[in-house]
Amino acid sequence: MADDGFNGATVTFASAAIGKLRSINYSETAAKADVTSSVSTTKAYAAGIPDVTLSVEVVGSTTLGSGDKGALAVAWGDIGAGTDGTIAAAQVVTVTTQGAMDGEVTSTIEFCTAAPTA
């Protein structure tokens, strides 16, 4: 029986561990392209180019900032060794750090695919 537990999951960016993970959120969304023809009886769609984002919540603050680039490697904690969210050329697009009285400080970092540099 597979273990689908989160504990043990890791995320590295530019070969460095991001920090103490609290959560990972991976999303891959494709635009809906209308490919309906004049002989169609119902609307028909095709998936467009996917928009891949990964956000992580870590305990504490982070030294990462918007615009930082590098390889993003994700290893989910399950036995199946899932790597959903791994991005060969990633870029940090959002960094948010928050805290509250008598609570911990957490940071949320959002990554997307970086534009090619050529």
pLDDT tens sequence across 7-41: 888 899 999 989 899 999 999 999 999 999 999 99
Decide if 41 is inside a domain.
Answer: no
Query: Is 97 part of any domain?
Result: yes
State mean pLDDT over 39-50: 92
pTM: 0.83
19 Cβ neighbours under 8 A, 6+ residues apart: 58, 59, 60, 62, 107
pLDDT band at 116 (very low <50, low <70, confident <90, very high): confident
What pLDDT is attached to residue 3? 59
In this prediction, residue 101 carries a pLDDT of: 95
User: Residue 65: what pLDDT?
Assistant: 94
Percentage of residues in the chain with pLDDT exceeding 90? Answer: 71
Residue 26 within a domain:
yes
Residue 80 within a domain: yes
Residue 61 has pLDDT above 50, yes or no: yes
Say whether pLDDT at 1 is over 60: no
Whether 3 is covered by a domain: the verdict is no
Name the domain count of the chain.
1
